[in-house]
Amino acid sequence: MKDGRKLPKLKDLYIGKLDIKRENDLNILLNQEPKPQWIKSHPMVPNARYIPIEVIEFLLTTIFIRWYVEIRVTQVIANSVVLTIRLHYQNPIDGEMRFQDGIGANPMQTAKDAGATDFSQIKSGAVMMAAPAAESYAIKDAAEKIGKLFGKDMNRKDAFGYDSLGNKFDMATPEQMNWIMINKENCAYDEKQMAELDNEIFEGMTDIRANEVIKLIEMNRQEPVNMNRQKDIKKVLDSKLERNEND
């Protein structure tokens, strides 16, 4: 990772100074590990961890500002309320609305020793408690798909890192561009290739692309023309031509 490269950091999010200017910056932020204090142990599932809904809502508001939940399907399966939702959020880079779908379920409480599907034994207020809980689970399920910051991969044994995104779209350094400008004239490119290269230089190229161009120039390098040598050759040719005319 290059020194001086400014990437979005969680501490910027904590203190309210988050500044996201590039799509790749956003991807890097969304796939950083969540703050350890946000993570809780599941009370009923051994070795499972989760991020509470209030933290998820805080992150959605802080990063995306505008977001809302669309309830798509509500149904009862066995003794559980099941909700399918669509989480809409505004991309801070281009202002476009994006979405992720999520599903959540929560059982309705029944009287002690009652069967799971004995609806005559459902406690008063069971649906009122189960439905919002199912919605919260569905929101968290959708948010997890946005990135690791929201809990993606949290309970997976194998997970990939996203650090490589950091330099994928870094722009070429002045040193790289200067090298290309100086050495391109000695490259065995035809007019079309040279025009394409000039256009890339004008439009700007990434660090990765600049390295590719440097390698191509080195592979197609020509020896620079020695102007003094050209003058000597011209003198010899002129001398031969003059002798031929005299003969």
Identify whether 2 is part of a domain: no
Same domain, 190 and 155: no
Per-residue pLDDT of 123-133, as tens digits, reads: 878 888 999 99
Helix axis angle for 207-219 and 191-203, nearest 10°, is 160
Tell me the whole-structure pTM to 2 decimals: 0.57
Last residue of a domain, one of 146, 165, 184: 165
Positive/negative CA dihedral, 185, 187, 189, 194: negative
Same domain, 149 and 39: yes
Last residue of a domain, one of 165, 189, 223: 165
Identify whether 3 is part of a domain: no
Q: Which domain holds residue 207?
A: 174-246
Amino acid at 6: K
Last residue of a domain, one of 131, 165, 199: 165
Residue 21 or residue 56, greater confidence: 56
Strand, coil or helix: 100 = strand
At residue 69, the pLDDT reads: 97
Lowest-confidence segment of 105-119, 126-140, 170-184 by average pLDDT = 105-119
Same domain, 27 and 128: yes
Please state, as a whole number, how many other Cβ atoms lie within 10 Å of the Cβ of residue 93.
Answer: 13
Instruction: Please tell me the total count of domains within the chain.
Output: 2
Identify whether 116 is part of a domain: yes
Identify whether 4 is part of a domain: no
Question: In this structure, which long-range contacts are made by residues 72-78, counting pairs with CB atoms below 8 Å and at least 24 apart in sequence?
Answer: 72/101, 74/131, 76/108, 77/105, 78/107, 78/116, 78/117
Phi, psi of 201 (to 5 degrees): -65, -40
Q: How does residue 135 score in pLDDT terms, banded at 50, 70 and 90?
A: very high
Q: How does residue 78 score in pLDDT terms, banded at 50, 70 and 90?
A: confident
At residue 95, the pLDDT reads: 86
At residue 6, the pLDDT reads: 44
